């Protein structure tokens, strides 16, 4: 927040900027729909790098290696350093910012006012993660249509409804109250979603996956 005062003697304006008023809330979220992940695999990154390094010697007709579906399943997960599973913290933050469209709050201001704190970072690519404290992933296979129009099989980890996570959110208390943040998170959970097949998916209208509700909140 900033205040502007005009000095009577000189007629000059003096701007005073208040320090950040950051508070934190902790929310337990519970999945009310399946949560499906799709991490860009290290194998795909390696293949992309090798193709680019090959340059003009790369051939479209190069032999394609057999696909290992179990490896694809494992590679699509976000893993914590201790071997657990995690949700990308930016996914929840992005969902909250997107939900601002429903509340009449400027998304650009929300980007500067709401932050989802990470519990840890992905062991492979350092993605900020929130640990999943309840629920185990299951092998999930579905058909998808690629941008080329070709149909293929997508292999993903899927958590059944009932998955849980504790989300720690820091926020600008000059912009939001704790209740504001809770309501924004609730809208993100029930109207936007996270992960594959979420209602707010850019590629489709979604499958209703990745939805959650708040079961507990507290200010810390």
Q: How much is the average pLDDT of 58-87? A: 86
Predicted confidence band of residue 95 (pLDDT cuts 50, 70, 90):
very high
Whole-angstrom Cα distance, residue 53 to residue 65?
Answer: 19
Long-range contacts of 217-220 (CB under 8 A, 24+ apart): 217/25, 217/26, 217/27, 217/28, 217/178, 217/182, 218/25, 218/26, 219/23, 219/24, 219/25, 219/26, 219/178, 220/24, 220/25, 220/26, 220/168
Answer yes or no: is pLDDT of 88 > 70: yes
Tokens 């209208």 locate to: 205
Question: What pLDDT score does 8 carry?
Answer: 59
The whole-model pTM stands at: 0.83
Q: 20-40+68-219, which class in CATH?
A: alpha beta
Answer yes or no: is pLDDT of 49 > 80: no
In this structure, the number of other CB atoms found within 10 A of the CB of residue 173 comes to: 17
Predicted confidence band of residue 148 (pLDDT cuts 50, 70, 90):
confident
- Top pLDDT among 167 and 44 is at 167
Instruction: Give bridge partners of residue 170 from the DSSP assignment.
Output: 24, 115
What are the residue boundaries of the structural domains of the chain, listed by start?
A: 20-40+68-219
Answer yes or no: is pLDDT of 2 > 60: no
In this structure, the number of other CB atoms found within 10 A of the CB of residue 216 comes to: 11
Q: Among 104-118, 154-168, 195-209, name the one with the lowest average pLDDT.
A: 195-209
Question: What pLDDT score does 119 carry?
Answer: 96
Contact 133, 166 (CB under 8 A): yes
Q: Look over the chain and give the mean of its residue pLDDT values, rounded to a whole number.
A: 87
């Amino acid at each position: 927040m900033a205040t502007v005062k005009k000095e009577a003697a000189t007629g000059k304006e003096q701007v005073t900027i208040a320090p950040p008023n950051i508070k934190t809330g902790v929310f337990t979220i519970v999945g009310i729909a399946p949560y499906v992940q799709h991490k860009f695999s290290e194998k795909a990154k390696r293949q992309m790098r090798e193709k680019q390094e090959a340059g003009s010697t790369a051939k479209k007709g190069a032999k394609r290696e057999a696909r290992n579906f179990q490896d694809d399943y494992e590679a699509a997960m976000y893993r914590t350093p201790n071997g657990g599973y995690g949700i990308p913290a930016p996914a929840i933050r992005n969902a909250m910012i997107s939900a601002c469209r429903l509340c009449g709050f400027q998304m650009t201001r929300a980007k500067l006012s709401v932050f989802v704190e990470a519990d840890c970072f992905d062991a492979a690519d350092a993605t900020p993660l929130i640990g999943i404290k309840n629920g185990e992933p299951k092998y999930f296979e579905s058909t998808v249509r690629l941008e080329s129009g070709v149909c293929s099989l997508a292999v993903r980890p899927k958590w059944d409804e009932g998955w849980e996570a504790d989300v720690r959110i820091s926020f600008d208390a000059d912009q939001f109250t704790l209740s504001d943040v809770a309501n924004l998170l609730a809208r993100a959970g029930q109207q936007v979603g996270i992960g594959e097949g979420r209602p707010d998916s850019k590629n489709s209208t979604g499958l209703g996956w990745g939805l959650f509700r708040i079961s507990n909140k507290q200010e810390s």
